[in-house]
Structure 1
Amino acid sequence: MTEITGKVYVAGHRGMVGSAVCRRLASEANCEVLTASRDTLDLTNQSSVEDFFAQHRPDSVIFAAAKVGGVLANDTYPVEFLGDNLLMSTFAINAAYAAGVKRFLFLGSTCIYPRDCPQPIQEEALLTGPLEKTNEAYALAKIAGLKLCQFYRRQHGVMFHSAMPTNLYGPGDNYHPEHSHVLPALLRRFHEAKNENLDSVTIWGTGTPRREFLYVDDLADALTFLMAQDNPPDWANVGTGVDLSILELSHLVAKTVGYEGDIKTDPSKPDGTPIKCSDVSRLNGMGWKHKVELAHGLKRTYDHFLNEVESGQMRSV
Protein backbone atom coordinates (compact mmCIF):
# COMPACT_ATOMS: atom_id res chain seq x y z
CA MET A 1 0.00 0.00 0.00
CA THR A 2 1.10 3.55 -0.68
CA GLU A 3 0.49 6.67 1.38
CA ILE A 4 -1.87 9.27 -0.06
CA THR A 5 0.32 12.32 -0.48
CA GLY A 6 0.48 15.53 -2.47
CA LYS A 7 -2.35 17.50 -3.96
CA VAL A 8 -5.63 15.58 -4.34
CA TYR A 9 -8.37 17.18 -6.41
CA VAL A 10 -11.83 16.14 -5.22
CA ALA A 11 -14.35 16.84 -7.99
CA GLY A 12 -17.88 17.39 -6.72
CA HIS A 13 -16.76 18.37 -3.22
CA ARG A 14 -20.08 20.02 -2.34
CA GLY A 15 -22.09 16.87 -3.03
CA MET A 16 -22.80 14.13 -0.54
CA VAL A 17 -19.96 11.90 -1.75
CA GLY A 18 -17.42 14.64 -2.36
CA SER A 19 -17.95 16.22 1.05
CA ALA A 20 -17.53 12.81 2.72
CA VAL A 21 -14.29 12.27 0.79
CA CYS A 22 -13.02 15.66 1.95
CA ARG A 23 -13.84 14.74 5.55
CA ARG A 24 -11.93 11.49 5.19
CA LEU A 25 -8.90 13.03 3.48
CA ALA A 26 -8.61 15.59 6.27
CA SER A 27 -7.12 12.80 8.39
CA GLU A 28 -4.32 12.16 5.88
CA ALA A 29 -1.34 14.11 7.22
CA ASN A 30 0.57 14.53 3.96
CA CYS A 31 -2.37 15.26 1.70
CA GLU A 32 -3.55 18.64 0.41
CA VAL A 33 -7.18 18.66 -0.73
CA LEU A 34 -7.92 20.76 -3.81
CA THR A 35 -11.51 21.75 -4.64
CA ALA A 36 -13.22 24.08 -7.10
CA SER A 37 -16.78 25.42 -7.03
CA ARG A 38 -19.04 25.56 -10.06
CA ASP A 39 -18.58 29.29 -10.45
CA THR A 40 -14.83 28.82 -10.94
CA LEU A 41 -14.80 25.49 -12.82
CA ASP A 42 -17.46 24.29 -15.26
CA LEU A 43 -16.77 20.58 -15.67
CA THR A 44 -18.89 20.47 -18.84
CA ASN A 45 -16.64 23.08 -20.51
CA GLN A 46 -13.55 21.54 -22.09
CA SER A 47 -11.32 24.62 -22.05
CA SER A 48 -12.27 25.39 -18.45
CA VAL A 49 -11.32 21.86 -17.36
CA GLU A 50 -8.06 21.85 -19.32
CA ASP A 51 -7.06 25.24 -17.90
CA PHE A 52 -7.82 24.09 -14.35
CA PHE A 53 -5.67 20.97 -14.61
CA ALA A 54 -2.85 22.80 -16.38
CA GLN A 55 -2.79 25.48 -13.69
CA HIS A 56 -3.18 23.39 -10.53
CA ARG A 57 -1.57 20.09 -11.63
CA PRO A 58 -2.96 17.82 -8.92
CA ASP A 59 -1.08 14.62 -8.11
CA SER A 60 -4.30 12.62 -7.76
CA VAL A 61 -8.00 12.96 -8.54
CA ILE A 62 -11.10 11.48 -6.92
CA PHE A 63 -13.86 12.18 -9.40
CA ALA A 64 -17.13 12.33 -7.46
CA ALA A 65 -18.82 14.92 -9.67
CA ALA A 66 -21.96 13.78 -11.49
CA LYS A 67 -25.49 14.69 -12.40
CA VAL A 68 -27.52 12.27 -10.30
CA GLY A 69 -31.16 11.64 -9.45
CA GLY A 70 -33.80 9.03 -8.82
CA VAL A 71 -35.95 7.01 -11.23
CA LEU A 72 -38.21 9.93 -12.19
CA ALA A 73 -35.36 12.36 -12.85
CA ASN A 74 -33.37 9.83 -14.90
CA ASP A 75 -36.38 8.88 -16.97
CA THR A 76 -37.50 12.49 -17.51
CA TYR A 77 -34.14 14.10 -18.41
CA PRO A 78 -32.09 11.46 -20.30
CA VAL A 79 -30.37 14.09 -22.48
CA GLU A 80 -28.92 15.86 -19.46
CA PHE A 81 -28.02 12.66 -17.63
CA LEU A 82 -26.16 11.28 -20.64
CA GLY A 83 -24.74 14.52 -22.01
CA ASP A 84 -23.59 16.25 -18.84
CA ASN A 85 -22.06 13.14 -17.28
CA LEU A 86 -20.32 12.15 -20.49
CA LEU A 87 -18.81 15.60 -20.95
CA MET A 88 -17.66 15.90 -17.33
CA SER A 89 -15.94 12.53 -17.18
CA THR A 90 -14.34 12.69 -20.63
CA PHE A 91 -12.99 16.22 -20.24
CA ALA A 92 -11.62 15.53 -16.75
CA ILE A 93 -9.94 12.21 -17.58
CA ASN A 94 -8.32 13.57 -20.74
CA ALA A 95 -7.17 16.76 -19.01
CA ALA A 96 -5.80 14.81 -16.06
CA TYR A 97 -3.65 12.67 -18.32
CA ALA A 98 -2.41 15.72 -20.24
CA ALA A 99 -1.47 17.42 -16.97
CA GLY A 100 0.51 14.43 -15.71
CA VAL A 101 -1.90 13.32 -12.97
CA LYS A 102 -0.45 10.19 -11.39
CA ARG A 103 -3.70 8.69 -10.13
CA PHE A 104 -7.35 9.10 -11.10
CA LEU A 105 -10.15 7.34 -9.21
CA PHE A 106 -13.44 7.54 -11.08
CA LEU A 107 -16.80 6.83 -9.47
CA GLY A 108 -19.15 4.60 -11.37
CA SER A 109 -22.19 2.99 -9.76
CA THR A 110 -23.65 -0.49 -9.43
CA CYS A 111 -26.73 0.84 -11.24
CA ILE A 112 -24.74 0.74 -14.51
CA TYR A 113 -24.61 -3.06 -14.49
CA PRO A 114 -27.10 -4.94 -16.70
CA ARG A 115 -30.68 -4.90 -15.47
CA ASP A 116 -31.08 -8.66 -15.12
CA CYS A 117 -27.54 -9.83 -14.36
CA PRO A 118 -26.98 -12.62 -11.80
CA GLN A 119 -27.11 -11.60 -8.15
CA PRO A 120 -25.09 -10.64 -6.22
CA ILE A 121 -23.50 -8.58 -8.98
CA GLN A 122 -19.87 -9.34 -9.75
CA GLU A 123 -17.55 -6.86 -11.44
CA GLU A 124 -17.36 -9.11 -14.50
CA ALA A 125 -21.08 -8.54 -15.17
CA LEU A 126 -20.47 -5.13 -16.74
CA LEU A 127 -21.64 -4.97 -20.37
CA THR A 128 -22.99 -8.52 -20.36
CA GLY A 129 -26.64 -7.56 -20.95
CA PRO A 130 -29.20 -4.79 -21.52
CA LEU A 131 -29.37 -1.85 -19.12
CA GLU A 132 -32.36 -0.76 -17.04
CA LYS A 133 -34.27 1.57 -19.39
CA THR A 134 -35.18 4.18 -16.76
CA ASN A 135 -31.46 4.52 -15.93
CA GLU A 136 -29.93 3.93 -19.37
CA ALA A 137 -28.68 7.46 -20.10
CA TYR A 138 -26.79 7.82 -16.81
CA ALA A 139 -25.41 4.30 -17.10
CA LEU A 140 -24.04 4.84 -20.61
CA ALA A 141 -22.18 7.96 -19.52
CA LYS A 142 -20.71 6.27 -16.47
CA ILE A 143 -19.67 3.19 -18.44
CA ALA A 144 -17.85 5.43 -20.91
CA GLY A 145 -15.90 7.12 -18.10
CA LEU A 146 -15.03 3.83 -16.44
CA LYS A 147 -13.84 2.28 -19.71
CA LEU A 148 -11.86 5.41 -20.62
CA CYS A 149 -9.95 5.05 -17.34
CA GLN A 150 -9.34 1.38 -18.06
CA PHE A 151 -8.08 2.15 -21.57
CA TYR A 152 -5.75 4.93 -20.37
CA ARG A 153 -4.28 2.48 -17.85
CA ARG A 154 -3.85 -0.22 -20.49
CA GLN A 155 -2.52 2.03 -23.26
CA HIS A 156 -0.46 4.54 -21.28
CA GLY A 157 0.33 2.74 -18.01
CA VAL A 158 -1.22 5.38 -15.74
CA MET A 159 -3.04 4.40 -12.55
CA PHE A 160 -6.56 5.37 -13.63
CA HIS A 161 -9.16 3.11 -12.03
CA SER A 162 -12.76 3.10 -10.78
CA ALA A 163 -15.05 2.26 -7.88
CA MET A 164 -18.62 1.01 -8.22
CA PRO A 165 -20.58 2.12 -5.15
CA THR A 166 -24.04 0.82 -4.40
CA ASN A 167 -26.95 3.08 -3.35
CA LEU A 168 -25.61 5.73 -1.02
CA TYR A 169 -27.11 7.76 1.81
CA GLY A 170 -25.91 10.04 4.59
CA PRO A 171 -25.20 13.67 5.50
CA GLY A 172 -25.63 16.17 2.68
CA ASP A 173 -28.00 14.05 0.60
CA ASN A 174 -30.46 15.60 -1.86
CA TYR A 175 -34.00 15.69 -0.48
CA HIS A 176 -35.79 17.02 -3.56
CA PRO A 177 -39.40 15.73 -3.43
CA GLU A 178 -39.29 14.41 -7.01
CA HIS A 179 -35.67 14.11 -8.17
CA SER A 180 -33.96 12.54 -5.16
CA HIS A 181 -32.98 8.90 -4.69
CA VAL A 182 -35.25 6.47 -2.91
CA LEU A 183 -33.87 6.63 0.63
CA PRO A 184 -33.71 10.43 1.07
CA ALA A 185 -37.07 10.73 -0.68
CA LEU A 186 -38.62 8.30 1.81
CA LEU A 187 -36.97 9.99 4.77
CA ARG A 188 -38.37 13.38 3.82
CA ARG A 189 -41.85 12.00 3.05
CA PHE A 190 -42.17 10.14 6.34
CA HIS A 191 -40.81 13.12 8.26
CA GLU A 192 -43.42 15.41 6.67
CA ALA A 193 -46.18 12.82 7.11
CA LYS A 194 -45.35 12.62 10.81
CA ASN A 195 -45.43 16.41 11.19
CA GLU A 196 -48.72 16.65 9.27
CA ASN A 197 -50.30 13.70 11.14
CA LEU A 198 -51.12 11.88 7.89
CA ASP A 199 -52.88 8.55 8.21
CA SER A 200 -50.88 6.92 5.43
CA VAL A 201 -47.94 7.31 3.05
CA THR A 202 -47.95 5.82 -0.45
CA ILE A 203 -44.62 4.74 -1.89
CA TRP A 204 -43.74 4.38 -5.59
CA GLY A 205 -44.11 0.97 -7.21
CA THR A 206 -44.89 -2.38 -5.69
CA GLY A 207 -42.34 -2.18 -2.88
CA THR A 208 -40.85 -5.52 -3.95
CA PRO A 209 -37.58 -4.39 -5.64
CA ARG A 210 -34.57 -5.08 -3.46
CA ARG A 211 -31.77 -2.59 -2.89
CA GLU A 212 -28.50 -2.37 -0.99
CA PHE A 213 -27.45 0.80 0.87
CA LEU A 214 -24.06 2.09 1.96
CA TYR A 215 -23.40 4.96 4.38
CA VAL A 216 -21.48 7.63 2.49
CA ASP A 217 -18.63 7.90 5.01
CA ASP A 218 -18.01 4.19 4.53
CA LEU A 219 -17.67 4.87 0.80
CA ALA A 220 -15.17 7.68 1.48
CA ASP A 221 -13.13 5.27 3.58
CA ALA A 222 -13.23 2.67 0.81
CA LEU A 223 -12.08 5.21 -1.78
CA THR A 224 -9.06 6.21 0.28
CA PHE A 225 -8.35 2.51 0.75
CA LEU A 226 -8.38 1.99 -3.02
CA MET A 227 -6.22 5.07 -3.55
CA ALA A 228 -3.59 3.53 -1.30
CA GLN A 229 -3.39 0.23 -3.22
CA ASP A 230 -0.31 -0.32 -5.37
CA ASN A 231 -2.20 -2.36 -7.95
CA PRO A 232 -5.97 -1.97 -7.57
CA PRO A 233 -8.43 -3.64 -9.95
CA ASP A 234 -9.74 -1.60 -12.88
CA TRP A 235 -12.97 -1.33 -10.92
CA ALA A 236 -14.24 -2.71 -7.64
CA ASN A 237 -17.71 -2.88 -6.13
CA VAL A 238 -18.18 -0.93 -2.90
CA GLY A 239 -21.13 -1.91 -0.75
CA THR A 240 -22.35 -4.05 2.12
CA GLY A 241 -23.46 -7.13 0.22
CA VAL A 242 -26.80 -6.99 2.11
CA ASP A 243 -30.09 -5.90 0.55
CA LEU A 244 -33.73 -5.42 1.54
CA SER A 245 -37.00 -4.67 -0.23
CA ILE A 246 -38.19 -1.10 -0.73
CA LEU A 247 -41.21 -1.88 1.45
CA GLU A 248 -38.92 -3.16 4.22
CA LEU A 249 -36.81 -0.03 3.83
CA SER A 250 -39.96 2.11 4.09
CA HIS A 251 -40.89 0.53 7.40
CA LEU A 252 -37.34 1.03 8.69
CA VAL A 253 -37.35 4.70 7.67
CA ALA A 254 -40.80 5.18 9.24
CA LYS A 255 -39.53 3.68 12.48
CA THR A 256 -36.45 5.92 12.39
CA VAL A 257 -38.48 9.13 12.07
CA GLY A 258 -41.25 7.97 14.40
CA TYR A 259 -44.07 7.75 11.84
CA GLU A 260 -46.80 5.30 12.89
CA GLY A 261 -49.34 5.52 10.03
CA ASP A 262 -50.02 3.04 7.24
CA ILE A 263 -47.64 2.43 4.34
CA LYS A 264 -49.25 1.78 0.95
CA THR A 265 -47.79 0.94 -2.46
CA ASP A 266 -48.62 2.33 -5.92
CA PRO A 267 -48.03 -0.40 -8.55
CA SER A 268 -48.85 2.07 -11.35
CA LYS A 269 -45.45 3.71 -10.77
CA PRO A 270 -42.23 2.12 -12.15
CA ASP A 271 -40.16 -0.14 -9.94
CA GLY A 272 -36.86 0.10 -11.80
CA THR A 273 -34.43 -2.82 -11.58
CA PRO A 274 -36.04 -5.74 -9.69
CA ILE A 275 -32.98 -6.55 -7.57
CA LYS A 276 -29.57 -4.97 -7.23
CA CYS A 277 -27.11 -6.25 -4.67
CA SER A 278 -23.35 -6.14 -5.16
CA ASP A 279 -20.81 -8.88 -4.66
CA VAL A 280 -18.20 -7.17 -2.47
CA SER A 281 -15.89 -10.17 -2.08
CA ARG A 282 -13.17 -8.55 -4.20
CA LEU A 283 -12.85 -5.48 -1.98
CA ASN A 284 -13.39 -7.50 1.21
CA GLY A 285 -10.63 -9.84 0.09
CA MET A 286 -8.30 -6.86 -0.25
CA GLY A 287 -8.93 -5.98 3.40
CA TRP A 288 -11.78 -3.45 3.41
CA LYS A 289 -15.27 -3.89 4.89
CA HIS A 290 -18.06 -1.45 5.70
CA LYS A 291 -18.53 -0.37 9.33
CA VAL A 292 -21.95 1.36 9.50
CA GLU A 293 -25.03 -0.86 9.45
CA LEU A 294 -28.23 0.49 7.89
CA ALA A 295 -30.26 1.07 11.08
CA HIS A 296 -27.42 3.02 12.67
CA GLY A 297 -26.70 4.93 9.48
CA LEU A 298 -30.34 5.92 9.11
CA LYS A 299 -30.36 7.31 12.65
CA ARG A 300 -27.25 9.38 11.87
CA THR A 301 -28.73 10.55 8.60
CA TYR A 302 -32.03 11.60 10.16
CA ASP A 303 -30.19 13.54 12.86
CA HIS A 304 -28.26 15.39 10.13
CA PHE A 305 -31.51 15.94 8.21
CA LEU A 306 -33.14 17.56 11.24
CA ASN A 307 -30.12 19.82 11.73
CA GLU A 308 -30.22 20.81 8.05
CA VAL A 309 -33.94 21.60 8.24
CA GLU A 310 -33.44 23.62 11.42
CA SER A 311 -30.58 25.62 9.94
CA GLY A 312 -32.27 26.11 6.56
CA GLN A 313 -29.46 24.25 4.79
CA MET A 314 -31.34 21.20 3.57
CA ARG A 315 -30.23 20.34 0.03
CA SER A 316 -33.24 20.12 -2.28
CA VAL A 317 -32.15 20.85 -5.85
Structure 2
Amino acid sequence: MAFNLKKVLKALLFSSSHPLAIKDIQAAFTRFHDTAALEHAAASEESTEPGESPSPAVEAETPKAEAEPAAGTEGNGEAPAAGEPAEVFAETPADPELYAEVPSLITATQIREAMDQIAAELKAADEGLLLIEGSTGYRLVTHPRFARWVRILRSEPPPVKLSQSSIETLAIVAYRQPVTRGEIETIRGVSAEAGVNKLLERELIYIVGRADLPGRPIQYGTTDKFLEFVGVKSLDELPASDVLSSRQIDEWLKTAMNPPSLGDTDMGLANEELPLEGAAAGEPAAESAGETTANADEPAASAPAAPSESSEEKPNPA
Protein backbone atom coordinates (compact mmCIF):
# COMPACT_ATOMS: atom_id res chain seq x y z
CA MET A 1 0.00 0.00 0.00
CA ALA A 2 1.37 3.38 -1.02
CA PHE A 3 2.07 6.18 1.40
CA ASN A 4 -1.10 8.17 2.16
CA LEU A 5 -0.16 11.83 2.50
CA LYS A 6 -3.73 12.97 3.08
CA LYS A 7 -4.21 10.83 6.20
CA VAL A 8 -0.93 12.00 7.68
CA LEU A 9 -1.81 15.66 7.08
CA LYS A 10 -5.24 15.20 8.61
CA ALA A 11 -3.69 13.68 11.75
CA LEU A 12 -1.19 16.56 11.97
CA LEU A 13 -4.02 19.10 11.66
CA PHE A 14 -6.02 17.51 14.46
CA SER A 15 -2.98 17.26 16.72
CA SER A 16 -1.89 20.88 16.30
CA SER A 17 -3.48 23.76 18.20
CA HIS A 18 -1.74 26.33 16.01
CA PRO A 19 -1.91 27.00 12.27
CA LEU A 20 0.12 24.49 10.31
CA ALA A 21 2.34 26.10 7.69
CA ILE A 22 3.75 24.30 4.68
CA LYS A 23 7.30 24.78 5.93
CA ASP A 24 6.33 23.14 9.23
CA ILE A 25 5.01 20.08 7.38
CA GLN A 26 8.14 19.84 5.27
CA ALA A 27 10.27 20.14 8.41
CA ALA A 28 8.33 17.25 10.00
CA PHE A 29 9.11 15.01 7.01
CA THR A 30 12.77 16.01 7.18
CA ARG A 31 12.90 15.06 10.87
CA PHE A 32 11.18 11.76 10.08
CA HIS A 33 13.94 10.77 7.65
CA ASP A 34 16.68 12.00 9.98
CA THR A 35 15.27 9.92 12.82
CA ALA A 36 14.91 6.87 10.60
CA ALA A 37 18.52 7.22 9.44
CA LEU A 38 19.76 7.44 13.03
CA GLU A 39 17.74 4.39 14.08
CA HIS A 40 19.03 2.40 11.13
CA ALA A 41 22.63 3.37 11.90
CA ALA A 42 22.22 2.39 15.56
CA ALA A 43 20.67 -0.94 14.63
CA SER A 44 23.51 -1.66 12.22
CA GLU A 45 26.14 -0.96 14.88
CA GLU A 46 24.43 -3.24 17.39
CA SER A 47 24.10 -6.09 14.89
CA THR A 48 27.81 -5.97 13.95
CA GLU A 49 29.15 -6.20 17.52
CA PRO A 50 30.66 -9.70 18.19
CA GLY A 51 29.22 -11.94 20.90
CA GLU A 52 25.89 -10.15 21.03
CA SER A 53 22.57 -11.23 19.67
CA PRO A 54 20.72 -9.05 17.21
CA SER A 55 18.68 -6.28 18.76
CA PRO A 56 14.88 -6.59 19.00
CA ALA A 57 14.57 -3.98 16.29
CA VAL A 58 16.63 -6.12 13.91
CA GLU A 59 14.67 -9.22 14.83
CA ALA A 60 11.42 -7.42 14.14
CA GLU A 61 12.63 -6.70 10.59
CA THR A 62 13.43 -10.36 9.79
CA PRO A 63 10.92 -12.42 7.73
CA LYS A 64 10.67 -14.94 10.60
CA ALA A 65 9.41 -12.29 13.00
CA GLU A 66 6.94 -11.08 10.39
CA ALA A 67 5.61 -14.59 9.87
CA GLU A 68 5.15 -15.31 13.57
CA PRO A 69 2.19 -13.79 15.41
CA ALA A 70 2.94 -10.94 17.79
CA ALA A 71 3.08 -11.61 21.49
CA GLY A 72 -0.32 -11.40 23.12
CA THR A 73 -2.24 -11.90 19.85
CA GLU A 74 -4.00 -14.81 18.32
CA GLY A 75 -2.85 -16.59 15.23
CA ASN A 76 -5.28 -14.68 13.06
CA GLY A 77 -3.67 -11.36 14.06
CA GLU A 78 -6.59 -10.06 16.10
CA ALA A 79 -6.01 -7.76 19.05
CA PRO A 80 -5.86 -9.31 22.53
CA ALA A 81 -8.93 -9.38 24.70
CA ALA A 82 -9.65 -6.64 27.20
CA GLY A 83 -7.56 -6.83 30.34
CA GLU A 84 -4.65 -8.61 28.69
CA PRO A 85 -1.34 -6.71 28.70
CA ALA A 86 -0.49 -5.47 25.25
CA GLU A 87 0.93 -2.34 23.68
CA VAL A 88 -2.32 -1.25 22.12
CA PHE A 89 -1.24 2.36 21.50
CA ALA A 90 2.32 1.53 20.51
CA GLU A 91 3.63 2.90 17.23
CA THR A 92 3.56 0.47 14.35
CA PRO A 93 6.36 1.41 11.96
CA ALA A 94 5.39 -1.52 9.76
CA ASP A 95 2.16 0.26 8.70
CA PRO A 96 2.83 0.78 5.00
CA GLU A 97 0.11 3.41 4.61
CA LEU A 98 1.78 5.74 7.09
CA TYR A 99 5.45 4.82 7.40
CA ALA A 100 6.48 2.88 4.30
CA GLU A 101 7.91 4.56 1.22
CA VAL A 102 7.73 8.01 2.75
CA PRO A 103 8.95 10.51 0.14
CA SER A 104 12.13 12.30 1.07
CA LEU A 105 10.79 15.53 -0.41
CA ILE A 106 7.21 16.74 -0.20
CA THR A 107 6.62 19.76 -2.42
CA ALA A 108 4.35 22.65 -1.56
CA THR A 109 2.12 21.75 -4.51
CA GLN A 110 1.56 18.23 -3.17
CA ILE A 111 0.70 19.62 0.27
CA ARG A 112 -1.76 22.15 -1.17
CA GLU A 113 -3.46 19.50 -3.31
CA ALA A 114 -3.86 17.19 -0.29
CA MET A 115 -5.17 20.07 1.83
CA ASP A 116 -7.70 20.97 -0.86
CA GLN A 117 -8.96 17.37 -0.84
CA ILE A 118 -9.29 17.42 2.96
CA ALA A 119 -11.16 20.74 2.82
CA ALA A 120 -13.54 19.36 0.18
CA GLU A 121 -14.21 16.21 2.24
CA LEU A 122 -14.93 18.19 5.41
CA LYS A 123 -17.24 20.53 3.57
CA ALA A 124 -19.11 17.65 1.94
CA ALA A 125 -19.44 15.80 5.27
CA ASP A 126 -21.14 18.87 6.80
CA GLU A 127 -20.12 17.91 10.34
CA GLY A 128 -19.32 21.41 11.57
CA LEU A 129 -15.60 21.44 10.72
CA LEU A 130 -13.84 23.43 8.03
CA LEU A 131 -10.26 23.64 6.84
CA ILE A 132 -9.12 27.17 6.06
CA GLU A 133 -5.81 28.64 4.97
CA GLY A 134 -4.80 31.79 6.78
CA SER A 135 -1.80 34.05 6.68
CA THR A 136 0.15 31.71 9.00
CA GLY A 137 -0.95 28.34 7.60
CA TYR A 138 -3.75 25.76 7.58
CA ARG A 139 -6.01 25.05 10.54
CA LEU A 140 -9.26 23.34 11.39
CA VAL A 141 -12.09 25.60 12.56
CA THR A 142 -15.74 25.20 13.47
CA HIS A 143 -18.43 26.30 11.07
CA PRO A 144 -19.73 29.84 11.71
CA ARG A 145 -23.23 28.52 12.36
CA PHE A 146 -21.92 26.83 15.54
CA ALA A 147 -20.48 30.12 16.83
CA ARG A 148 -23.23 30.56 19.41
CA TRP A 149 -22.52 27.15 20.99
CA VAL A 150 -18.81 27.91 21.09
CA ARG A 151 -19.44 31.25 22.82
CA ILE A 152 -21.71 29.54 25.36
CA LEU A 153 -19.02 26.96 26.11
CA ARG A 154 -16.37 29.65 26.56
CA SER A 155 -18.73 32.12 28.32
CA GLU A 156 -17.87 34.79 25.78
CA PRO A 157 -20.12 37.72 24.86
CA PRO A 158 -21.28 38.11 21.27
CA PRO A 159 -18.87 40.08 19.08
CA VAL A 160 -19.38 43.82 18.77
CA LYS A 161 -19.66 45.16 15.25
CA LEU A 162 -17.40 47.96 14.10
CA SER A 163 -18.92 51.35 13.51
CA GLN A 164 -18.80 53.02 10.12
CA SER A 165 -16.10 55.45 11.25
CA SER A 166 -13.95 52.56 12.54
CA ILE A 167 -14.36 50.71 9.24
CA GLU A 168 -13.30 53.79 7.30
CA THR A 169 -10.27 54.25 9.55
CA LEU A 170 -9.38 50.55 9.18
CA ALA A 171 -9.61 50.79 5.39
CA ILE A 172 -7.26 53.79 5.34
CA VAL A 173 -4.72 51.97 7.53
CA ALA A 174 -4.96 48.82 5.38
CA TYR A 175 -4.35 50.60 2.09
CA ARG A 176 -1.99 53.34 3.29
CA GLN A 177 0.09 51.60 5.97
CA PRO A 178 2.27 52.68 7.58
CA VAL A 179 0.10 55.75 8.16
CA THR A 180 -0.02 58.42 10.84
CA ARG A 181 -3.12 59.66 12.62
CA GLY A 182 -2.65 63.06 11.00
CA GLU A 183 -2.89 61.50 7.53
CA ILE A 184 -6.01 59.57 8.57
CA GLU A 185 -7.65 62.77 9.80
CA THR A 186 -6.64 64.61 6.63
CA ILE A 187 -8.27 61.96 4.45
CA ARG A 188 -11.44 61.60 6.54
CA GLY A 189 -11.71 65.26 7.53
CA VAL A 190 -12.60 64.44 11.15
CA SER A 191 -10.79 63.33 14.29
CA ALA A 192 -9.57 59.72 14.18
CA GLU A 193 -8.64 59.29 17.83
CA ALA A 194 -11.71 57.25 18.79
CA GLY A 195 -11.48 54.99 15.73
CA VAL A 196 -7.76 54.33 16.19
CA ASN A 197 -8.19 53.49 19.87
CA LYS A 198 -11.05 51.08 19.06
CA LEU A 199 -9.01 49.28 16.41
CA LEU A 200 -6.04 49.02 18.77
CA GLU A 201 -8.32 47.52 21.40
CA ARG A 202 -9.65 44.95 18.92
CA GLU A 203 -6.03 44.13 17.88
CA LEU A 204 -6.78 44.87 14.25
CA ILE A 205 -4.00 47.47 14.00
CA TYR A 206 -0.76 48.00 15.89
CA ILE A 207 1.96 50.61 16.24
CA VAL A 208 4.57 50.09 13.53
CA GLY A 209 6.98 52.84 14.48
CA ARG A 210 7.44 56.58 14.08
CA ALA A 211 7.45 58.59 10.87
CA ASP A 212 10.47 60.62 9.80
CA LEU A 213 8.50 63.85 10.09
CA PRO A 214 8.56 66.82 12.46
CA GLY A 215 7.35 65.64 15.84
CA ARG A 216 8.00 61.98 14.98
CA PRO A 217 4.30 60.97 14.81
CA ILE A 218 3.30 57.35 15.46
CA GLN A 219 2.60 55.12 12.45
CA TYR A 220 0.01 52.34 12.37
CA GLY A 221 -0.32 49.10 10.39
CA THR A 222 -2.63 46.06 10.26
CA THR A 223 -2.11 42.80 12.18
CA ASP A 224 -2.53 39.13 11.24
CA LYS A 225 -5.86 39.22 13.06
CA PHE A 226 -6.99 41.80 10.50
CA LEU A 227 -6.28 39.32 7.71
CA GLU A 228 -8.44 36.73 9.47
CA PHE A 229 -11.11 39.36 10.08
CA VAL A 230 -11.24 40.23 6.38
CA GLY A 231 -10.72 36.65 5.17
CA VAL A 232 -7.54 37.05 3.12
CA LYS A 233 -4.11 35.44 3.36
CA SER A 234 -2.08 38.58 2.60
CA LEU A 235 -2.52 42.26 1.89
CA ASP A 236 -1.97 41.56 -1.81
CA GLU A 237 -5.41 39.93 -1.93
CA LEU A 238 -7.17 43.14 -0.91
CA PRO A 239 -9.31 44.48 -3.77
CA ALA A 240 -7.66 47.24 -5.74
CA SER A 241 -9.11 50.72 -5.45
CA ASP A 242 -10.97 51.81 -8.60
CA VAL A 243 -11.18 55.46 -7.47
CA LEU A 244 -7.66 56.74 -6.88
CA SER A 245 -4.25 55.21 -7.23
CA SER A 246 -1.66 55.32 -4.45
CA ARG A 247 0.33 57.94 -6.33
CA GLN A 248 -2.70 60.20 -6.71
CA ILE A 249 -3.49 59.86 -3.01
CA ASP A 250 0.14 60.73 -2.15
CA GLU A 251 -0.06 63.89 -4.24
CA TRP A 252 -3.43 64.80 -2.75
CA LEU A 253 -2.14 64.30 0.80
CA LYS A 254 0.92 66.40 0.07
CA THR A 255 -1.24 69.20 -1.27
CA ALA A 256 -3.78 68.93 1.55
CA MET A 257 -1.19 69.00 4.32
CA ASN A 258 0.86 71.81 2.67
CA PRO A 259 -1.70 74.03 0.93
CA PRO A 260 -0.24 76.64 -1.50
CA SER A 261 -0.80 80.35 -0.96
CA LEU A 262 -3.69 81.72 -3.02
CA GLY A 263 -3.50 85.05 -4.86
CA ASP A 264 -6.12 87.47 -6.13
CA THR A 265 -6.34 85.66 -9.46
CA ASP A 266 -7.02 82.33 -7.74
CA MET A 267 -9.82 83.94 -5.75
CA GLY A 268 -11.39 85.51 -8.85
CA LEU A 269 -10.28 89.08 -8.08
CA ALA A 270 -8.62 91.55 -10.41
CA ASN A 271 -4.86 91.39 -10.37
CA GLU A 272 -4.21 94.96 -9.21
CA GLU A 273 -1.03 96.18 -7.63
CA LEU A 274 -2.01 97.96 -4.46
CA PRO A 275 0.43 100.44 -2.88
CA LEU A 276 2.29 99.34 0.17
CA GLU A 277 0.94 100.33 3.55
CA GLY A 278 4.00 102.40 4.39
CA ALA A 279 3.98 104.21 1.08
CA ALA A 280 0.28 104.92 1.32
CA ALA A 281 0.69 106.38 4.79
CA GLY A 282 3.68 108.49 3.72
CA GLU A 283 1.99 110.31 0.81
CA PRO A 284 0.20 112.98 2.92
CA ALA A 285 3.37 113.67 4.81
CA ALA A 286 5.23 114.19 1.55
CA GLU A 287 2.57 116.57 0.24
CA SER A 288 2.55 118.61 3.47
CA ALA A 289 6.31 118.73 3.41
CA GLY A 290 6.19 120.07 -0.15
CA GLU A 291 3.73 122.75 0.80
CA THR A 292 5.90 123.81 3.73
CA THR A 293 8.90 124.11 1.44
CA ALA A 294 6.95 126.17 -1.03
CA ASN A 295 5.71 128.51 1.69
CA ALA A 296 9.21 128.87 3.00
CA ASP A 297 10.47 129.83 -0.44
CA GLU A 298 7.87 132.51 -1.01
CA PRO A 299 9.30 135.00 1.47
CA ALA A 300 12.70 134.44 0.00
CA ALA A 301 11.43 135.30 -3.45
CA SER A 302 9.55 138.41 -2.29
CA ALA A 303 12.27 139.64 0.00
CA PRO A 304 14.04 141.78 -2.66
CA ALA A 305 10.74 143.30 -3.72
CA ALA A 306 9.86 144.45 -0.26
CA PRO A 307 12.75 146.93 0.07
CA SER A 308 12.11 148.37 -3.41
CA GLU A 309 8.55 149.04 -2.54
CA SER A 310 9.54 150.63 0.78
CA SER A 311 12.39 152.66 -0.76
CA GLU A 312 10.14 154.37 -3.23
CA GLU A 313 9.65 157.93 -2.16
CA LYS A 314 6.29 159.44 -2.53
CA PRO A 315 6.25 162.91 -4.13
CA ASN A 316 6.19 165.70 -1.66
CA PRO A 317 3.01 167.67 -2.05
CA ALA A 318 4.93 170.75 -1.13
Q: Give the number of the structure whose residues are more often helix, by fraction.
A: 2
With a CA cutoff of 8 Å and minimum separation of 6, indicate the structure with the bigger relative contact order: 1
Q: TM-score with structure 1 length normalisation?
A: 0.17
Structure index of larger Rg: 2
Q: Give the number of the structure whose residues are more often strand, by fraction.
A: 1
Q: TM-score with structure 2 length normalisation?
A: 0.17
